[in-house]
């Protein structure tokens, strides 16, 4: 018998059964940084594809809602909230994604997926201006709720 929650007795991968867990409020925030040249950042307002930060925000929100379609063992969740904030800084764009729900399992993966897809969208929208864009420092900032309690980075 395995002590790992995503493995069955015979070692097969499985989705964790959360049906006996109580529904509680769960929230999470994730961070990612997109390093972009100053020259490309200066051209951000004239981007021919539109406003990269707004497109990234919408892409991240949509991705949070589809996390279980992308991560095989994630539970599908009805999100009560999803948001993405993108802030231009001297060396790039800092993205903070958040998600919340009332469910028997957490929303860390939804926040991380939102941040990841938002960062990839910024890359896609700006790749014609800067081929050296780097996506860096994807991590969970904080989470609340659930059996494991609160976490702050």
Active site residues: 124
The per-residue b/e assignment along 66-95, b for 16 or more CB within 10 angstroms, e otherwise, is ebbeeeeebbebebeebbbebeeeeebbbb
Q: Are 30 and 117 in contact (CB under 8 A)?
A: no
**Locate tokens 């919340």: which residue?**
100
| Nearest Cα to Cα of residue 68 among 15, 133, 126, 144 | 15
């Amino acid at each position: 018998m395995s002590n790992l929650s995503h493995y069955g007795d015979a070692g097969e991968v499985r989705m964790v059964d959360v049906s006996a867990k109580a529904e509680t409020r769960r929230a999470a925030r994730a961070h990612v940084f997109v390093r972009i040249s100053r020259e490309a950042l200066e051209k951000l307002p004239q981007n021919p594809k539109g406003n990269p930060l707004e497109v990234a925000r919408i892409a991240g929100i949509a991705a949070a809602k589809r996390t279980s379609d992308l991560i095989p063992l994630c539970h599908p969740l009805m999100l009560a909230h999803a948001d993405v904030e993108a802030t231009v800084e001297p060396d790039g764009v800092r993205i903070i994604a958040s998600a919340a729900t009332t469910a028997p399992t957490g929303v860390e993966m939804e926040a991380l997926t939102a941040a990841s897809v938002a960062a990839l969208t910024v890359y896609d929208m700006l790749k014609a201006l800067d081929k050296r864009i780097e996506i860096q420092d994807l991590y969970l900032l904080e989470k609340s709720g659930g059996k494991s309690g609160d976490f702050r980075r």
